[in-house]
Structure 1
Amino acid sequence: MFTEAPDARVRPDIDDVLQLITPLGDRVESPALDPWIADVTPEHLGSLYRDMVVVRRIDSEATALARQGELGLWPPLLGQEAAQVASARALRADDFVFTSYRENAVAYCRGVGLADLVRSWRGTAPSGWNPYDVGMATPSIIIGAHTLHAVGYAMGCDLDAVDSVAVAYFGDGATSEGDVSEAMVFAASFHLPVIFFCQNNQWAISEPVGLQSVRHLADRAPGFGIPSLRIDGNDVLAVLAATRIALNRARSGGGATFIEAVTYRLGPHTTADDPTRYRDAAELESWQAKDPLVRLRHLLEREGIFTPVFEEETTQKADAVAAELRAGCVNDPEPEPLRLFDHVFSTDHRGIQAQRATYSDYLDSFDVAESGTVSDGEARS
Structure 2
Amino acid sequence: MSPQITPIADSTQDLERTERLLAPDGTRLAHPDLDPFVADVDASQLRALLRDMVILRRIDAEGVALQRQGQLGLWAPCQGQEATQIGTARALAPQDYVFPSYRETGVIYARGAQPGDFVRMWRGEEGAGHDPAALRVAPLQIIIGAQTLHAVGYALGIRHDGADEVAVTYFGDGATSQGDVNEAMIFAASYQAPVVFVCQNNHWAISEPVAVQSQYPIAGRAPGFGIPSLRVDGNDVLACMAAMRWALAHARSGKGPAYIEAVTYRMGPHTTADDPTRYRDEAELEEWRRRDPIARLDAHLRSIGELDEAHLAEIQSAADVVAKDMRAACLGMVTRAPLAVFDGVYAEPHAGLDRQRDEYAAYLASFESEA
Give CA deviations for 1:172-200 in whole Å, capped at 9, x if unaligned. Answer: 00000000000000000000100000000
My pick for the range that moved more, 282-291 or 296-305, is: 296-305
My pick for the range that moved more, 30-39 or 126-135, is: 126-135
Partner of 1:106: 107
Give CA deviations for 1:318-362 in whole Å, capped at 9, x if unaligned. Answer: 000000000011111111323323565xx63555x7425641575
Partner of 1:238: 239
State how many pairs are aligned: 356
SS in 1 for 2:238: helix
Partner of 1:173: 174
Partner of 1:6: none
Distance across 1 between alignment mates of 2:157 and 2:207: 37
Q: Displacement of 1:369 after TM fit?
A: 11
Change (3 A) 1:365 1:95: closer
Cα-Cα RMSD: 2.0
Give CA deviations for 1:129-177 in whole Å, capped at 9, x if unaligned. Answer: 2211110011110000110000000001001101200001000000000
Partner of 2:165: 164
TM-score normalised by structure 2 residue count: 0.92
Distance across 1 between alignment mates of 2:222 and 2:133: 30
Give CA deviations for 1:202-223 in whole Å, capped at 9, x if unaligned. Answer: 0000000000011000000000
Give CA deviations for 1:80-127 in whole Å, capped at 9, x if unaligned. Answer: 000001111111111000011000110111112221211111112252
My pick for the range that moved more, 68-77 or 358-367, is: 358-367
Partner of 2:133: 132
Give CA deviations for 1:277-317 in whole Å, capped at 9, x if unaligned. Answer: 00001100000000000000001112322111101100100
SS in 1 for 2:174: helix
Larger radius of gyration: 1
My pick for the range that moved more, 110-119 or 56-65, is: 110-119
Q: Displacement of 1:224 after TM fit?
A: 0.3
Partner of 2:6: none
Change (3 A) 1:36 1:358: same
Q: Displacement of 1:242 after TM fit?
A: 0.3
Distance across 1 between alignment mates of 2:227 and 2:344: 37
Distance across 2 between alignment mates of 1:118 and 1:96: 21
Distance across 1 between alignment mates of 2:258 and 2:298: 30
Partner of 2:4: none
Partner of 1:21: 22
1:219 and 2:220 aligned = yes
Distance across 2 between alignment mates of 1:366 and 1:172: 41
1:304 and 2:305 aligned = yes
Letter in structure 2 aligned against 1:115: G
SS in 2 for 1:244: helix
Distance across 2 between alignment mates of 1:178 and 1:58: 32
Change (3 A) 1:279 1:343: farther
Q: Displacement of 1:31 after TM fit?
A: 0.9
Q: Displacement of 1:251 after TM fit?
A: 0.8
1:321 and 2:322 aligned = yes
Partner of 1:283: 284
Change (3 A) 1:367 1:205: closer
Partner of 1:70: 71
Partner of 1:332: 333
Letter in structure 2 aligned against 1:291: D
CA contact (8 A) 2:197 2:260 kept: yes
Give CA deviations for 1:231-263 in whole Å, capped at 9, x if unaligned. Answer: 000000000000000000111101101100000
CA contact (8 A) 1:338 1:360 kept: no
The within-5 A match list for 1:17-96 is: 17-96=18-97
Distance across 2 between alignment mates of 1:163 and 1:369: 55
CA contact (8 A) 2:339 2:360 kept: no
Letter in structure 2 aligned against 1:359: R
Partner of 1:197: 198
Letter in structure 1 aligned against 2:283: A
Letter in structure 1 aligned against 2:347: D
The percent of aligned pairs where both chains have the same amino acid is 53
Distance across 1 between alignment mates of 2:360 and 2:173: 45
Moved over 2 A (4+): 336-339, 341-344, 347-351, 360-370
CA contact (8 A) 1:229 1:260 kept: yes
My pick for the range that moved more, 105-114 or 319-328, is: 105-114
Partner of 2:347: 348
Structure 2 residue ranges without an equivalent (≥5): 1-14
Distance across 1 between alignment mates of 2:364 and 2:78: 42
Letter in structure 2 aligned against 1:73: L
Partner of 1:271: 272
